[in-house]
Structure 1
Amino acid sequence: MPGFDPRPPETYWGLFRRESRITAARRGLDIAVSDPSRAPDGLSLDWTIDFEGERTRYSLLRWDDIVGARFPRSNWRRLRDVPALWWRLWRVGYVRRFRQEARRFATVILGVHAIFLAFVLLSLGLATGLMLLMPEASRPWSLLAIPILAYALLGATMVLTRGKPLYVAHLVDDTTFTYDHASGAEMRMHARLDAFAERIRAAEATASEIVLIGHSSSSFLGIEALDRVLALDPRFGRRGRPVSLVTIGSVIPWIALDPRADWVRGALARVAAADAIGWLDVRADWDWLSIHLRDPLSASGVRSPGPDRPAVIRVRIQDLIEPELLAARRWNLFQMHFQLLMSSRDPNAFDYIAFVAGPEPVHAMIARNRMPGPAERPAVPVPEAVPG
Structure 2
Amino acid sequence: MAARPLLTRRPAISPVRRRLTFLLTGYEPLPPAAHHHRFAREIRRFEATWSLKATVGGLTEIPDRPVATWPVALEGPDFGVETEVRLLRWDDIVAEDMEMPLWQRLPRYLLAAGDILVTGTFARYVAAYWRYGLFAAYPLVLLVLFGLVGILASLVPGLLGFGAPWPVRLALGLATFLGLTMFAGPRMHLTYMLADWIFARDMMRQRRPGIDARAEAFAREIAAGLADPGFDEVVIVAHSLGAAWMADAVARALSADPTLVSTGRPLGLVGAGSSTLKIALHPAAGWLRAAVQRVADAPGITWAEYDSHVDFICFYKNDTPTALGLTVAHPPLRRSIRLSRMLAPATWRRFRGNLLRIHRQYVMGNEQRYLYDVHMIACGPFRFADIARRGEDLPGALGPDGSLAAAATPLPSTMDMPAR
| 1:118 partnered with 2:141 | no
Query: 2:73 maps to what in 1?
Result: 50
Q: Give 3-state SS (helix, strand or coil) of 2:25's partner.
A: coil
Q: Against the structure 1 CA distance between its residues 169 and 303, is the aligned structure 2 distance closer, same or farther, given a 3 Å change threshold? A: farther
User: How far, CA to CA, are the matches of 1:343 and 1:349 in structure 2?
Assistant: 13
**Equivalent residue number for residue 24 of structure 1:** 47
**Counterpart of 1:228?**
252
- Equivalent residue for 2:128, pick from 79, 92, 101: 101
Residue 135 of structure 1, CA deviation: 6.5
In the alignment, what sits opposite 2:348?
326
Confirm or deny: 8 A CA contact 2:109 2:195 kept in the other structure.
no
| Letter in structure 1 aligned against 2:111 | A
After TM superposition, the structure 1 = structure 2 runs for residues 281-296 of structure 1, keeping only pairs within 5 Å, are: 281-296=305-320
SS at match of 2:261: coil
Q: How far 1:124 sits from its partner (Å)? A: 4.1
Find the residue that maps to 2:70 and give its secondary structure. strand
User: Match for 2:360 among 338, 342, 361?
Assistant: 338
Query: Which residue of the partner structure matches residue 5 of structure 1?
Result: 28
TM-score, normalised by the number of residues in structure 2: 0.80
Contact kept, 8 Å, 1:311 with 1:369, in 2: the verdict is no
Q: Residues 114 and 232 (structure 1 numbering): CA distance in 2 closer, same or farther, change over 3 Å? A: same
Kindly state the Cα deviation for residue 290 of structure 1 after the two structures are TM-superposed: 1.0
Is 1:129 the equivalent of 2:156?
A: yes
Please give the secondary structure, in 2, of the residue aligned with 1:238. helix
The residue aligned with 2:275 is 251
What is the aligned length? 363
Structure 2: which 5+ residue stretches go unaligned?
1-23, 393-420
- Structure 1 stretch displaced more, 64-73 or 259-268: 64-73
Deviations 1:262-309 (A, max 9, x none): 111111111111122221112222211111222111212323435xx2
Q: Say whether the 8 Å CA contact 1:242–1:363 is kept in structure 2.
A: no
Which structure 2 residues correspond to residues 237-248 of structure 1 after superposition, within 5 A?
Answer: 237-248=261-272
Residue aligned with 1:70, SS: helix
Amino acid in the other structure paired with 2:242: S
CA distance in 2, matches of 1:56, 1:176: 35
Give the letter aligned to residue 272 of structure 2.
Answer: I
- Identity, % of aligned positions: 26
Stretch of structure 1 that moved more, 152-161 or 170-179: 152-161
Per-residue CA deviations over 1:177-224 (Å, capped at 9, x if unaligned) read 112211122332111111121111111232321111211001111101
AA matched with 1:322: A
Contact 2:277 2:320 in 1 (8 A): yes
Task: Give CA-to-partner distance per residue, 1:95-142, whole Å, 9 cap, x none.
Answer: 222211021111111123201221133234324535987975x74xxx
Whether the aligned pair in 1 keeps the contact of 2:318 and 2:334 (CA below 8 Å) is: no
Instruction: Please state whether the residue corresponding to 1:229 is helix, strand or coil.
Output: helix
Q: List aligned pairs for 1:165-204, cutoff 5 A.
A: 165=188, 167-204=189-226
Instruction: Using the TM superposition, give the Cα deviation of residue 340 of structure 1 relative to its aligned residue in structure 2, in angstroms.
Output: 1.4
Counterpart of 1:365 in structure 2 is 387
Aligned mates of 2:112, 2:42 — CA distance in 1? 39
**Is 1:266 aligned with 2:290?**
yes
Check whether the contact 2:132–2:315 (CA below 8 A) recurs between aligned residues: yes
Counterpart position of 1:373:
none
CA–CA separation in structure 2 for the residues paired with 1:352 and 1:149: 50
Q: Distance in 2 between matches of 1:160 and 1:83?
A: 19
CA RMSD of the aligned region, Å?
2.4
Give the whole-Å Cα distance in 2 for the aligned partners of 1:351 and 1:366. 11
Find the counterpart in structure 1 of residue 93 from structure 2. Answer: 66
Q: Secondary structure at the match of 2:227?
A: coil
Q: CA deviation at 1:236?
A: 0.9
1:155 equivalent to 2:217? Answer no
- 1:384 maps to none
Q: Distance in 2 between matches of 1:134 and 1:189?
A: 55
Q: Classify the secondary structure of the residue corresponding to 2:232.
A: coil
Corresponding residue for 2:7? none
Q: Which has the higher contact order (CA 8 A, sep 6+)?
A: 2
- SS of 2:41's equivalent in the other structure is helix
User: 2:116 and 2:31 mapped to 1: Cα distance?
Assistant: 32
* Alpha-carbon shift at residue 72 of structure 1 (Å): 5.0
Give the alignment partner of residue 325 of structure 2, picking from 267, 277, 301: 301
Distance in 1 of aligned mates of 2:340 and 2:125: 28
Superposed displacement of residue 75, structure 1: 3.1
CA–CA separation in structure 2 for the residues paired with 1:243 and 1:77: 41
Find 1:313's aligned residue among 290, 314, 335: 335
Indicate how the Cα distance of structure 1 residues 185 and 249 shifts in structure 2: closer, same or farther if over 3 A, else same. same
User: After alignment, is 212-221 or 108-117 more displaced?
Assistant: 108-117
**Is this contact kept in 2: 1:36–1:47, CA < 8 A?**
yes
Q: Which whole-Å CA distance do the structure 2 matches of 1:153 and 1:72 have between them?
A: 22
Q: Unpaired runs of 5+ in structure 1?
A: 371-388
Cα deviations across residues 48-94 of structure 1 (Å, max 9, x unaligned)? 11011210100111211111111253333344233333333333322
Matched, 1:39 2:62: yes
Cα displacement (A) at 1:162: 4.0
Q: Map Cα deviations across residues 219-261 of structure 1 (whole Å, 9 max, x no partner).
A: 1111011111112111110115211211101112111111111
